[in-house]
């Protein structure tokens, strides 16, 4: 069994305070037995009005390189506690580009996987207008990472928030790269989150026969908008194993990876795919 924890945060404008608070919850999770702890999207710096201007001008100032202060903090903490940490996401500076990036750190303090968000959020509705690509550069690489936890190997797929609306990404992570756990750190708006968040997470879990680990931001932003929260862990049957209610906090679940392997063998959905048919049909449509 692999004990996994999701941390739900309400990051405000003070980056140092946000990271301190995240560390506190990581320690709580580790003390409760979690061997892998996951943080939300933009866990170190958020809280301002959600607009491209604030992302570029305010959050851009908080962006870091990898390695950098935030990754080094996570590395030291993972090494001290002897756990894996999934670093949600933060603003990464690479040359002139700004990325929405997450990392996985192992108990030795090594950075194992670095994923840059591929699908950037866009909304044009009256109640929610936003275009993440106005300030953030999309990633171009699908990232999966092999972990060794307590003598058990597992492969995890790294995604971020809006990626959840693109099932083809998750299919590749599972069917082609063998991911057993899918990470979805998020800062989902309340407007879409209340109807779609749990629905999408459970769908990705069921159709890919994988565990979904989804830590999220919660709370009111400076412009009066709200983030949905409801961090959760979902099993391959689509059952919500653990969730965090409104407010900051931690939820923990034990993932039975051996049972997952048996489940995939008994119900070989992934093996029954017909990618050649899908490919030819797509070409005909085009």
Q: What is the pLDDT of residues 164-200, one digit of tens each?
A: 999 999 999 999 999 999 999 999 989 889 999 999 9
Instruction: Single out the residue of 92, 76, 85 nearest to residue 39, CA to CA.
Output: 85
**What are the structural domains of the chain?**
2-285 (3.60.110.10)
What residues does 97 pair with on adjacent strands?
Answer: 94
pLDDT given at position 134: 77
pLDDT given at position 256: 96
At residue 100, φ and ψ (nearest 5 deg) are -100, 105
CB 204 within 8 Å of CB 166: no
Does the pLDDT of residue 53 top 70, yes or no? no
- C-alpha dist (Å) from residue 143 to 37, 178, 188: 18, 12, 22
Confidence label for 19 from pLDDT (cuts 50, 70 and 90): very high
Q: What is the pLDDT of residues 96-117, one digit of tens each?
A: 899 999 999 999 999 999 999 9
Task: Tell me the two tokens of residue 161.
Answer: 């928030």
Enumerate the active-site residues: 41, 117, 161
What is the residue-averaged pLDDT of the chain?
Answer: 91
**Going edge to edge, which strands form the sheet with 181-183?**
143-149, 152-158, 181-183, 211-214, 232-234, 240-243
Percentage of the chain beyond pLDDT 70 is 92
Percentage of the chain beyond pLDDT 90 is 74
């Amino acid at each position: 069994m692999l004990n996994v924890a999701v941390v739900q945060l309400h990051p405000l404008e003070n980056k140092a305070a946000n990271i301190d608070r995240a560390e506190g919850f990581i320690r709580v999770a580790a003390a409760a037995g979690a061997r892998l702890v996951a943080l939300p999207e933009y866990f170190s710096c958020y809280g301002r009005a959600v607009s491209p201007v604030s992302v570029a001008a305010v959050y851009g100032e908080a962006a870091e390189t990898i390695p950098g202060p935030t990754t080094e903090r996570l590395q030291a903490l993972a090494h001290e506690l002897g756990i894996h940490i999934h670093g949600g996401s933060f603003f990464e500076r690479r040359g002139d580009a700004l990325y929405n990036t997450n990392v996985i750190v192992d108990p030795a303090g090594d950075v194992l996987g670095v994923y840059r968000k591929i699908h950037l959020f866009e909304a044009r509705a009256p109640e929610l207008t936003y275009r993440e690509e106005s300030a953030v550069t999309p990633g171009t690489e699908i990232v999966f990472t092999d972990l060794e936890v307590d003598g058990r190997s597992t492969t995890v797929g790294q995604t971020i928030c809006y990626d959840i609306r693109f099932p083809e990404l998750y299919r590749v992570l599972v069917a082609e790269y063998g991911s057993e756990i899918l990470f979805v750190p998020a800062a989902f708006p309340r407007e879409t989150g209340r109807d779609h968040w749990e629905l999408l997470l459970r769908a990705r879990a069921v159709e890919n026969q994988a565990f979904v680990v989804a830590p999220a931001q919660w709370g009111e932003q400076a412009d009066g908008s709200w983030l949905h929260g409801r961090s959760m862990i979902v099993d391959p049957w689509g059952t919500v194993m653990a969730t965090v209610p409104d407010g900051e906090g931690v939820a923990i679940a034990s993932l039975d990876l051996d049972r997952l392997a048996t489940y995939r063998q008994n119900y070989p959905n992934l093996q029954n795919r017909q990618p050649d048919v899908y490919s030819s049909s797509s070409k005909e449509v085009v």
